[in-house]
């Protein structure tokens, strides 16, 4: 268990900037998730911490001690690769024990530790097999076991669940969280999957093109996204965005679709921060109310597509040239082409500056 602190980390590959002045704290005993799309620099960040890449600038410290120039084996971190990377010629047992053998543990210690770890990950029955004879989910467990078997200071997990089937992925998500809680280990976890990030993380850092976009608790990231990118990345289905123009205390949405009156507070804040009247209105699908009857303050829209998702359904409404995805309960029956009415939950609107893409409300 250790703290990891990254300051102004910069890594270039030739002329491509992979990470640019990234600063981040990974707290001891917590899961810190690095969330970002492919190519955002997640893997590079992890590799810099592991010592597999040499950063161009910046400091990486574990428990306050600079480790920039240490070779990987002296950093005492564990790395779980996206593709698992088991040694093909070794059995599962040999794979798991390899970090212990090189460290000169005694036979009894090795046996004891492997038994413990294997039980924790439910892979006791696989110990004699070679990696080619086990499934993807099992390979992943073995890879995790190999990193857990020695008590590393920090566990770096690079998209460990990306290559698994949806069902196993969800199981493993819970398992990993349980493992981390039980062992109290420090996880630094990279993933492109926002659901994984929100469900597992104690702390989320969103990155894009090597730049830190926002960091915070999962709730903060979800409810107070700092900009358009974060708002769009987090949440499934993602937030609805419709261009709008601020006209006094009203929003002309579309413009021309409908006019939305704002509270004084919102209008004033917006006016103060905006560079121009051009904005994006952002609303999460669960923050839209729909009804078949025309109610006070509701706007009309046409049902375009209905996606049933079991308990819930996603109703896509067509407005003039735009659409809104709405999460509704399955009991509510709508038909495609029908005209229905919608409104927004109070205080759930987000307003983004169209130029800077920053959220101003």
Partner 1 sequence: MNEFQRRKAKNRVIVVVLLVILVVYFFPIYWMFSTATKSKAEAFSFPPKWIWKPQFNNFRDIFFTGTGGALGRVRGIEVESKPSAFARQFTNSIIVSFISTILATFLGALSGYVFSRMTVRGKDDLLFVILSSRMLPPVVVAIPLVIMCRALGLFDTRGGLIIMYTAFNLAFSVWMMISFIDDIPKEYEEVALVDGYSRFQAFFKFVFPEMRVGMAATAIFNLVMTWNEFTFALLLTGENARTAIPGIAQSLGTAGVNWGQIAAGSFLMVIPVVIFTFLLGDNLVRGFTFGAIKE
Return residues touching partner 1 (CB under 8 A).
50-52, 71-73, 75, 77-79, 81, 83-89, 98-99, 102-103, 130-132, 136, 139, 146, 163
Q: CA–CA separation, 58 vs 8, rounded Å?
A: 5
Whether omega for the bond prior to residue 244 falls within 30 degrees of 0, making it cis, is: no
Residues 6+ apart with CB under 8 A from 139: 84, 86, 131
Task: Tell me the CA distances in angstroms from 71 to 49, 67, 74, 148, 244, one per residue in order.
Answer: 11, 9, 6, 20, 53
> Which stretches does DSSP call E strand in 269-360?
278-283, 288-291, 299-309, 312-318, 323-329, 339-344, 350-353
Distance between CA 121 and CA 127 in Å, rounded? 12
**Structure tokens given for 310:** 């079991």
Give me the helices (H) in 201-297, please: 218-223, 228-233, 264-273
The least distance separating partner 1 from the CB of residue 243, rounded to whole angstroms, comes to 41
CB of 228 to partner 1, least distance (A): 34
Query: Nearest approach, Cβ of 179 to partner 1 (angstroms)?
Result: 19
* Minimum separation from the CB atom of position 112 to partner 1 (A): 19
Nearer to partner 1, 190 or 319 (CB): 190
Tokens of 93: 């047992």
Task: Report d(CA 297, CA 316) in Å as an integer.
Answer: 20
Measured from the CB atom, the residue of 48 and 324 that comes closer to partner 1 is 48
- For residues 102 and 332, which CB has a smaller minimum distance to partner 1 in the complex? 102
3-class secondary-structure state, position 72: helix
């Amino acid at each position: 268990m250790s703290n990891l602190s990254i300051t102004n980390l910069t890594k270039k590959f030739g002329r491509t900037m992979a990470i640019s002045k990234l600063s981040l704290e990974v707290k001891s005993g917590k899961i810190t998730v690095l969330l970002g799309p492919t190519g955002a620099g997640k893997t590079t960040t992890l590799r810099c911490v592991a010592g597999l890449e040499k950063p161009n600038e910046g400091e990486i410290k574990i428990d306050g001690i600079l480790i920039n120039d240490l070779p990987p084996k002296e950093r005492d971190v564990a790395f779980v690769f996206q593709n698992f990377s088991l040694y093909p010629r070794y059995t599962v047992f040999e794979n798991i024990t390899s970090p212990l053998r090189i460290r000169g543990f005694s036979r009894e210690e090795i046996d004891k530790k492997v038994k413990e770890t294997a039980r924790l990950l439910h892979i006791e029955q696989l110990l004699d097999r070679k990696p080619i004879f086990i499934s993807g989910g099992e390979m992943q467990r073995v890879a995790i076991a190999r990193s857990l078997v020695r008590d590393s200071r920090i566990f770096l997990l690079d998209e460990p669940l990306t290559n698994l089937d949806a069902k196993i992925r969800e199981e493993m998500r819970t398992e990993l969280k349980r493992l981390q809680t039980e062992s109290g280990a420090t996880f630094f976890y990279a993933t492109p999957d926002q659901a994984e990030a929100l469900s597992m993380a104690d702390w989320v850092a969103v990155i894009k093109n090597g730049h830190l976009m926002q960091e915070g608790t999962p709730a903060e990231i979800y409810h107070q996204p700092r900009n358009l990118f974060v708002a769009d990345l987090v949440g499934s289905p993602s937030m609805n965005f419709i261009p709008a123009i601020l006209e006094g205390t009203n929003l002309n949405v579309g413009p021309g679709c409908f006019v939305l009156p704002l509270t004084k507070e919102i209008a004033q804040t917006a006016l103060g921060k905006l560079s121009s009247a051009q904005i994006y209105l952002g609303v999460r699908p669960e923050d839209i109310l729909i009804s078949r009857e025309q109610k006070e303050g509701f706007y009309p829209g046409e049902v375009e597509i209905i996606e049933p998702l079991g308990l819930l359904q996603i109703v896509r409404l067509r407005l003039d040239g735009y659409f809104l995805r709405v999460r509704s309960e399955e009991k509510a029956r709508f038909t495609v082409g029908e005209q229905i009415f919608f409104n927004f939950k109070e205080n759930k609107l987000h307003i983004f500056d169209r130029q800077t893409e920053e959220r101003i409300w």
